[in-house]
Amino acid sequence: DTEVTQTPKHLVMGMTNKKSLKCEQHMGHRAMYWYKQKAKKPPELMFVYSYEKLSINESVPSRFSPECPNSSLLNLHLHALQPEDSALYLCASSQIRAGDTEAFFGQGTRLTVV
Amino acid sequence: QKEVEQNSGPLSVPEGAIASLNCTYSDRVSQSFFWYRQYSGKSPELIMSIYSNGDKEDGRFTAQLNKASQYVSLLIRDSQPSDSATYLCAVRGSNYQLIWGAGTKLIIKP
């Protein structure tokens, strides 16, 4: 099973709203990622968690707040977003060992900020 | 700056022919290489991973890695219209992050 599940699939939110994106995997992967993807561009790394600890924050604005409650779950809390934050938000997970670092993506959350 | 380069295309290939997608990378110490397929509006789907020099075959897909020349390629045999998508090359960097190419748009013409 190589499934990463993201909810919701679509989200429309106002600039004053607070919402959360959720991601779950049961593959025993110890690295989990949030990516942002704009149309016709490759995914852009936002955050990396390894062993439930934040290991990379790619200078993401504080209106995006990640959380890793346990090894299977990853959340992204959204607050006071801007219209330019509208994008496809992707969660991924992978193992952390040489020769076995394939990353699997969830189906994504299509976020529209109005 | 570690980089991954791909021709953005579009690459147009007749149905039934071999599609050849190429990718070069700048970091000589890279060890893990991946090809993802992405349909419009969908998330990337892992097609192939390759870790050592040479060829790796999986069905109609063959990944080729040449570390000395720092390139990795993906061959798709007997191309089908359903193979039409954007193909993203990714290289594993430090701290488990993936370094992405810009993607090649592949069009299979019936």
pLDDT digits 0-9 by tens, B32-62: 999 999 999 999 999 999 999 999 999 999 9
Contact B103 A42 (CB under 8 A): yes
Measured in angstroms, the CA of B109 and the nearest CA of chain A are apart by 21
Give the burial string for B36-57 (b: 16+ CB within 10 Å, else e).
bbbeeeebbbbbbbbbeeeeee
Interface of chain A against chain B, CB under 8 Å? Answer: 2, 31, 33, 41-43, 45, 48, 50, 55-56, 88, 90, 94, 96, 98-99, 101-108, 110
Predicted confidence at residue A2, as pLDDT, reads 67
By Cβ distance, the residue of A96, A105, A106 closest to B96 is A96
Contact of B16 with B109, CB cutoff 8 Å = no
pLDDT, one tens digit per residue, over A26-69 is 999 999 999 999 999 999 999 999 999 998 888 899 999 999 99
- When CB atoms are compared, the residue of B36, B96, B102 closest to A94 is B96
A24 to chain B, closest Cα gap in Å: 15
Contact A5, A106 (CB under 8 A): yes
The structure tokens 């045999």 sit at B77
State the DSSP code for A97: S
- CB A108, CB A8: distance < 8 Å: no
- Check residue A99 and give its pLDDT: 67
Residue linked to tokens 């346990």 = A70
Q: Name the residue in chain B with its Cα closest to that of A91.
A: B43
Contact B86, B74 (CB under 8 A): no
Please identify which residue in the block is written with the tokens 């290289």: B91
Of A15, A14, A11, A9, which is closest to residue A80 (Cα–Cα)? A15
CB contact under 8 A, B96 and A98: no
Share of chain A above pLDDT 90, in %: 87
Average pLDDT over chain A reads: 94
* Closest listed residue to residue A27, CA positions, set B46, B89, B39: B46
Nearest-CA distance B27 → chain A (Å): 17
Inter-chain touch B95–A107, beta carbons under 8 Å: no
Of B43, B95, B102, the CB nearest to A56: B95
Burial class (CB in 10 A: 0-12, 13-18, 19+), A10: exposed
Q: Strand A73-79 relative to strand B11-14: parallel, antiparallel, unpaired?
A: unpaired
Question: Bigger pLDDT: B1 or B4?
Answer: B4
